[in-house]
Amino acid sequence: MKSNLSIDLVKVTEAAALAAGRWTGRGKKEEADEAATAAMRALFNVIEMSGTVVIGEGEMDEAPMLYIGEKLGTGNGPKVDIAVDPLEGTEIVAAGEANALTTIAISERGNLLHAPDMYMEKIAVGPAGVGKININAPVVDNLKAVAEAKNKKVEDLVVSILDRERHKEMIQEIRNVGAKVKLVQAGDVQTAIGTAFESSGIDLMLGSGGAPEGVLAAAALKSLGGEFQGKLLPQTEEEEQRLRQMGVSDFNKTYYMKDIVKGDDAFFVATGVTDGDLLRGVQYKGNIAITHSIIIHGKSRSVRFIEGQHNMENLKDVLAVG
């Protein structure tokens, strides 16, 4: 894929962030999500590409989400798979808290995991821990392996995990061996990516969260030289049936990086909505808004941070805000 495609893609996440950002702190997560989705769809559909959403927020009858199977782009240009989360952290935005993102990943057709929107068990680590982790191994074994790979004591590790009741036992296991736990209220894409940046202070990410976010994180980490493993966790017979319809019969399958993101020609793009560990949030200054985005390209192994300045008047047709 052409590297200049990244500029079109960052315009998509910027527009979604600008739309969602207007809802920050207003207590209306659905409105924020719908605004981000509408803006993202509008910008996607002027890009010269033939895109298909292979993992996203839901099915066609659940619109206005960017649904699995939806066609995006003009229909011309490169044929690509799209993983998408128009607003990672809807509740974060509603509450005015940190680390909300708008994010997408694309790769050549057939190269991203095609799966329903459901829970996924995850483990993520930066370059130093590649080849050392195993999602099927006990938590303690993974902690010891990462500590050894990073030449640290287990007590010095920082493990990020979503603050959920389902993780209570895992959190206690981590603490029992002396490692530090960083509880995250939402936003495990950013947390997973953080394992590849020493400045984040995060050594390992564990726990379960959304499958779309898992694919997005894997696309970024592959380009950054990190490692990601996942296992889909259907909760109902309906979710199991959806998996079967997509050709998945082994519900206990471990998905490695090569299964989730094939090849090396993938883009990961994200824009901050609220201030976070990786990106600054949208700043509104009268009719001008400032955005902060990241573009990660697998083939070139490049990482770019972009600050954008936007005239809101010129974007009013795609920014559906109240």
From the annotation, which residues make up the binding site for Mn(2+)? 33, 57, 85, 88, 213
- What the block records as the tokens of 68 is 């699995």
The pair phi, psi for residue 144, each rounded to 5°, is -65, -40
Please check whether residue 296 is in contact with residue 224, taking contact to mean a CB–CB distance below 8 angstroms: yes
* Binding site listing: 33, 57, 85, 88, 213
- Cα–Cα dist 123/238, whole Å: 26
Q: Across-strand partners of 88?
A: 101
Neighbour-count burial for 183-202, b at 16+ CB within 10 Å, e otherwise: ebebbbbbbbbbbbeeebeb
Helix axes 168-176, 139-149, angle to 10 degrees: 50
Please check whether residue 222 is in contact with residue 111, taking contact to mean a CB–CB distance below 8 angstroms: no
- Cα–Cα dist 110/261, whole Å: 9
